[in-house]
Structure 1
Amino acid sequence: MTTRPPHRARAWLLGVLLPVAITAAAWVVVAALLPRLPDPVALHWGLDGVDRTGSVGELVTSTAVISAISLVIMGTLSVLTGRQALTRRMTLGAATGLATLFAGMTLSTVLVQVDATSAFDAASPDASLTVSLVAAVALGALAGALAGSDPDQPATGDLPADALLADLPEGQRAVWVRSVAGIGQTTTWVLATCAVLLGVGFWLLSDMIFPVVVLAPVVVLMLTMTTWQVQVDARGLSARGALGWPRLHVPATEVERAEVTQVNPFAEFGGWGMRTTVSGTVGVVVRKGEAIAVERSGGRRIVVTVDDAATGAAVLNTYAQRARTTHPTH
């Protein structure tokens, strides 16, 4: 049975109202400062300072349009999705984080030009852009943390008659563990190292730290999202990133059915890593091919790409069946 997504008030607060408030506050400040900007204003900064100028309209129009589009899209996703905690945390965190980032970008390019005699006297917005990015990550993480956990929803009814089951005698236990990597651990570390060297090199050559701040989370994502450990035991299914985070867990008591499926990461999830779809399916997808698909209580669905998915699904179904006996629901 499909249930109503939980924490609807938080979805409206963190996914709609807070982003709108952050954006509105930033634009109130910008509107008050516009008369104090030079004419023309600086539009773009290069290694040697300002390299393009234009009108105030050009300065604020692009960020205004991007902010408005972000508010509409993320606000809609916030109130229409969120059946699973991971989806809810990612959506609400992104809604708040993006609003903060775009507001900070707008403020940064305006503040450095206030009372400047000409556009070419404007200082680089590098420092304020860095602060904006850090604030966006921090507020986004806070919004995600406040999005609310999933309530317990034990599965009801019997497993389907054709569900895969493991040959595991009653009273005995088994643990199924597999590691799965998309591009390989060695390749991941090489790419991460190159990204770090690129950012540091650009910083030393240009004296701009913003690229380093941008590349740092990219490196972390590369290290955590490309290699996973998947485990099935009496507690259910767990998947952990290479650094132990992020972590996905499905209790055996909430498993309606586990089966094998074939996954095309880009076509179905829009990319690789820990992903979520508009329909609410959560995926740990690091490559194309076989995966464990778990139908979870409350109309939720989990997909994890991994080798020997049939064995993992069978062990999970077995523990789900035992959980119904140990913890019967009515």
Structure 2
Amino acid sequence: MNRSAPRLRALAALPFALALAVHLALLALSYDRLPDPLATHFGPDGGRADGFTGRTAFTAVSTGLLLVLGAGWTHLARRGSLWGAWATAGFTGALLVLLVRDNLDAADPARVESPLTNLLVAVATGALLALVGRGLTRLVPREEPAEGPGLPDAPRLPLGASEVAGWTRATASRPLTALAVLALAATPAVLLLAPWPVALLGLLGLVIGLPGLALARVRVTVDRRGVTVRPALASRPRTRIPLDEVAGASVRDLDTAAVLAEFGGWGYRVRAHRTGVIVRSGETLVVRRSGGREFAVTVPDARTAAALLNTLAERHGKV
């Protein structure tokens, strides 16, 4: 059992709880100073209001948005992605607070303006809270290491006592690339042109597009540090399993049916006892972690990667 899971879920939910508390407190204190309806969508012509929502509906929709995002991150967050939960809560919460501020004491909501600096402030808030979330990662312990590799019959790559070796390959998904590009391209149009609350769907473009683009082409590396999976064009975000957490590695061939049945689709997948970076069907490196969970990544020449990883983990356990 992963003892760090409750603490991780609590830390992932915390920024959304804080953002919701601040947002609802601001609404309660300034409710009588807000117009009805509020200006909730702004056009490209100087940020002038062109969409409006009643106060009650705005309260319900904004509260629901924070709750849904919080629930999603609480369920999906892992130790290495805790910063993403804090960044999302900071960005979304800041936008909502700034929107309320812009509407305060407005006699005519049609004259309310939302300057571009609001978006910059929201981005800066998200970046600052991302650093906070990353700092809090140290409060989440790593899974307890096992005594050594647990797959004695798994493939090995023969290495001499003084030999060192590394392996790296890139793998890509054209459909995921196309989906990510389309999502990002649609985001500005939806945010600027769609009426409220449909405009909120523009945020989904960022939620889908940015992770999708990062996962569209990934690089898998096996070396003395363990196994690392990261975007091919950037060093972050990344998933790394150190050698002392590797209980064994094997190879599977996943067809479409297996991908859907075991992982529920493509992308970064999270299941009860396994996680995976599944960008295509085919040869898959499966790493069994010391805590009992499995990590899988689809990559060509996975057999060589598994053999080298088993050899390095076995050697590491004897040091």
TM range (shorter): 0.7 to 0.9
Q: Does 1:96 align with 2:93?
A: no
Query: Per-residue CA shift, 1:150-206, capped at 9, x if unaligned?
Result: 54844325643431222445554433232222239xx969x86x9998889999x9x
Partner of 1:246: 237
Whole-angstrom distance in 1 between the partners of 2:112 and 2:87:
27
Counterpart selection for 1:31 from 5, 8, 28: 28
Which amino acid is 2:303 matched to?
A
Q: Is the 8 A contact 2:184 2:210 kept in 1?
A: no
Q: TM-score, normalised by structure 1?
A: 0.73
Q: In the alignment, what sits opposite 2:196?
A: none
1:50 and 2:45 correspond: no
1:230 paired with 2:220, answer: yes
Change (3 A) 1:235 1:55: closer
> Which consecutive unaligned segments of at least 5 residues does structure 2 have?
194-201
Q: CA contact under 8 A between 2:148 and 2:313: conserved in structure 1?
A: no
With structure 2 as the length reference, what TM-score do the two structures score?
0.75
Query: Match of 2:126, SS?
Result: helix
- C-alpha distance 119-15 of structure 1, shift in aligned 2 (>3 A): same
Fraction of identical pairs, as percent: 29
Cα pair distance change 1:175/1:5, threshold 3 Å: same
How many residue pairs match? The answer is: 306
> 1:65-120: per-residue Cα shift (whole Å, max 9, x none)?
22234445544x3xxx87xxxx1242x33443343344333323322222222121
- Mapped pair 1:131 → 2:121: yes
Seen in structure 2, the aligned counterparts of structure 1 residues 300 and 127 have a Cα distance that, compared at 3 Å, is same
Instruction: Tell me if 1:279 matches 2:292.
Output: no
Write the distance in 2 (CA, Å) between the matches of 1:152 and 1:308. Answer: 28
Partner of 1:310: 303
Q: Is the 8 A contact 1:40 1:118 kept in 2?
A: no
Match of 1:19 in 2: 16
Amino acid at match of 1:289: G
Aligned CA distance change for structure 1 residues 238 and 162 (closer, same or farther; 3 Å): same
CA drift of 1:27 comes to 1.7
Shift of 1:62: 0.8
Q: State whether residues 41 and 55 of structure 1, in contact with CA within 8 Å, keep that contact through their aligned partners in structure 2.
A: yes
Query: Post-superposition shift, 1:146?
Result: 1.9
Identify unmatched segments of 5+ residues in structure 1. Answer: 206-211
Matches within 5 A, 1:1-330: 2-5=1-4, 9=7, 12=10, 14-47=11-44, 49-72=48-71, 74-75=73-74, 77=75, 87-90=78-81, 92-124=82-114, 126-148=116-138, 150-151=141-142, 153-156=144-147, 159-168=150-159, 171-183=162-174, 221=211, 224-242=214-232, 243-263=234-254, 268-269=262-263, 272-273=266-267, 275-279=268-272, 281-324=274-317, 326-327=318-319
CA–CA distance in structure 1, aligned partners of residues 32 and 212 of structure 2: 44
User: Residue deviations 1:111-144, cap 9 Å, x none?
Assistant: 2222222121111365424422442243134313
Tell me the secondary structure at the aligned position of residue 112 of structure 1. helix
CA–CA separation in structure 2 for the residues paired with 1:20 and 1:42: 25
The question of whether the paired residues in 1 share the 8 Å contact of 2:16 and 2:66 is answered with no
One-letter code aligned to 2:153? D
Shift of the alpha carbon at 1:293?
Answer: 0.4
Residue 208 of structure 1 corresponds to none
